[in-house]
């Protein structure tokens, strides 16, 4: 019996035959599942400031230079380290070719987006890199690079949104988290913020929740 394929290329996994497109969807879904309960959220405060709340079952990581700051979340420490390595690589190349001053938020965003997209679409790599980046720069832009390479750019000054999020691909988790985040402190008060982070940690049974001031 023959099965009609969606796309020409055929490979065999676990005894079943899959089309190229099906394999791609599986790879993407698997990465989404690994990022289901890992998140970074930026809470916008008036006027034009805010703070980050990050959480998940592995600790998040940060990178910064004089032009931008970046929060890296991922499904495992190994993947987060790979994310850091990617940023350092592009930084080193920029340093060699131009100068440290030219290592801007858009430069790192462009590279990460290209890399993650290529990584997901390359079917010789069996597992996608489940990491996401939240970048803030000196011009007040919020840049998000998702694990599939898509990017989102918002300006803190001109947007009406109050909450910006990466990760949290479990719909139910996301919904509950966003509901909870509406109660987030609206001033930068470290005690209140710590209290709030602890609340989220226990409510969602996460091992790491913390806040970051940009």
Partner 1 sequence: MSDLADKILDSVFPRPSPSTRLSIRGRGTTSARSDDTKDKLPHTGTTVLAFKYKNGIMFAADRKTSGGYFSIFSLEAIKIEQIAPRTVVGCAGLVADSQFIKEVLEETNSGFNSRYGFTLSVEGQVNYLVNLCRNFRFYVDPLSMGLEIQAVIGGMDFSGDFEIFEISGEGSFYKKDFTVVGSGTDHAMGVLKENRKNLIGRSLNLRESMLVAVKAIYRAGEADSGTSDIRVATPNIAVITKSGVKFIKTENVKKVVDRVLEKEV
**Residue whose tokens read 């890399």:** 115
Question: Of the candidates 102, 157, 175, 189, which one interacts with partner 1 according to CB under 8 A?
Answer: 102
Alpha-carbon separation of residue 90 from 29, 100, 108, 115, 207 (angstroms): 28, 11, 7, 11, 31
Using rule CB under 8 A, residue 152 touches partner 1:
no
DSSP result, 163-192: EEEEE---HHHHHHHHHHHTTS-SS--HHH
Using rule CB under 8 A, residue 161 touches partner 1:
no
Using rule CB under 8 A, residue 190 touches partner 1:
no
Using rule CB under 8 A, residue 65 touches partner 1:
no
Q: Report, in Å, the least distance between residue 100 CB and partner 1.
A: 8
Query: For residues 114-133, which are near partner 1 according to CB under 8 A?
Result: 114-115, 118-119, 122
Tell me which stretch binds partner 1 (CB under 8 A): 14-22, 30-38, 79-87, 176-184: 79-87
C-alpha closest to that of 59 among 83, 32, 27 = 83
Question: Of the candidates 13, 17, 89, 213, which one interacts with partner 1 according to CB under 8 A?
Answer: 89
| Count of residues of this chain found to bind partner 1 when the rule CB under 8 A is applied | 23
- HSE of 127 in the Cβ direction (CA atoms, 13 Å)? 10
Question: Of the candidates 32, 84, 110, 154, which one interacts with partner 1 according to CB under 8 A?
Answer: 110
Q: What are the residues binding partner 1 (CB under 8 A)? A: 82, 85-86, 89-90, 93-94, 96-99, 101-102, 104, 106-107, 110-111, 114-115, 118-119, 122
């Amino acid at each position: 019996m023959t099965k009609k394929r969606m796309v020409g290329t055929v490979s065999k996994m676990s005894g079943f035959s899959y089309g190229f497109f099906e394999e791609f969807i599986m790879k993407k879904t698997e990465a989404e599942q690994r990022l289901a309960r890992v998140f970074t959220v930026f809470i916008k405060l008036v006027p034009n400031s805010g703070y980050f709340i990050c959480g998940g079952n592995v600790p998040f990581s940060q990178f910064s230079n004089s032009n931008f700051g970046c929060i890296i979340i991922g499904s495992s420490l190994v993947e987060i380290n790979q994310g850091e390595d990617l940023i350092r690589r592009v930084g080193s190349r920029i340093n060699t070719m131009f100068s440290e001053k030219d290592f801007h938020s858009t430069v790192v965003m462009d590279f990460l987006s290209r890399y993650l997209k290529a990584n997901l679409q390359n079917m010789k790599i069996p597992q996608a890199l489940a990491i996401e980046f939240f970048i803030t720069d000196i011009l007040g832009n919020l840049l998000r690079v998702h694990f599939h390479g898509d990017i989102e750019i918002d300006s803190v000054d001109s947007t009406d949104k109050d909450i910006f999020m990466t990760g949290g691909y479990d719909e139910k988790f996301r919904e509950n988290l966003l509901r909870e985040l509406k109660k987030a402190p609206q001033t930068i008060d470290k005690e209140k913020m710590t209290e709030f982070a602890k609340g989220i940690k226990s409510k969602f049974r996460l091992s790491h929740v913390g806040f970051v001031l940009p």
